[in-house]
Amino acid sequence: MKSSDLFPLVVHRDYFHVPYPAQVQPTLDKRGIVEPIGNDIYSMLIDASDGMIRGIHREDLETLSLTADTGKSQAIENLRKSVFSATELHRQLSMTESGLGHVVLMGSWLTASCILLPELHNWASHHLKTKNILVSIPTREFMFLFSVGDASWRKHITEYIKRVVDGMDTHITFDLFFLDESGWIAYPWPDDGELDD
């Protein structure tokens, strides 16, 4: 394992289910360095060497003279260089005449993991011309970022997303995340009223 093989992988909690008859499932701490990010979604630190994915534990990082924090930072940097900045990550922008828009990112098995990039908000707000953004990561290979708009717009976009990924088998979630300058949180939050951009 090399530090260049470290990546963050965003997965649904069902990813951790072991399909065998015993009812006792390994606890998350046995899966390595795993953190919840909301909506039953987790970020896990992985080693992607030799064509395989495996969870990374603190002991693995020690062999690279890395701590959990420096290992996660290295993984984010690898994601940035290998995926977000790469030409094979396709980016498509669509805007309406009223100024609402959406961006689709696609093309890598780590596309959805780009939600973890600190610069994602600045990048998306530059293209969508808004500070408040909703994010959908329905599969590993797709990420949708779109204007908050009104309830009708959100319904239209979420139905569109479901049509685009229909039949794909690497589902993560159809739940949304709200992204602004302070970061992202699960959306909707309990006291959600009508949220307009």
Query: Is the predicted pLDDT of residue 16 greater than 50, yes or no?
Result: yes
Per-residue confidence (pLDDT) for residue 1, from 0 to 100: 85
**Better-scored residue on pLDDT, 145 or 30:** 145
Q: How do residues 43-93 score in pLDDT, each as one tens digit? A: 999 999 988 999 999 999 999 999 999 999 999 999 999 998 888 799 999
Compute CA distances 94 → 47, 99, 105, whole Å: 35, 10, 12
Query: Is the predicted pLDDT of residue 132 greater than 50, yes or no?
Result: yes
What gap in Å lies between CA 79 and CA 111, rounded to an integer? 9
Q: What is the mean pLDDT of residues 176-187?
A: 88
Contact between 104 and 112 (Cβ < 8 Å)? no
* pLDDT tier at 197, thresholds 50, 70, 90: very low
Helices (runs of H) and strands (runs of E) counted in the chain: 4, 10
Q: What is the DSSP string of 26-80?
A: PPGGGGSSEEEEETTEEEEEEE-GGG--EE--HHHHHTTT--HHHHHHHHHHHHI
Contact between 74 and 6 (Cβ < 8 Å)? yes
Name the amino acid, one letter, at 108. S
Query: Is the predicted pLDDT of residue 152 greater than 80, yes or no?
Result: yes
Query: Is the predicted pLDDT of residue 29 greater than 80, yes or no?
Result: no
Query: Is the predicted pLDDT of residue 24 greater than 80, yes or no?
Result: no
Query: Is the predicted pLDDT of residue 160 greater than 60, yes or no?
Result: yes
DSSP-assigned letter for residue 171: B
pTM beyond 0.75: the answer is yes
Q: Where are the domains of the chain?
A: 3-82, 90-187
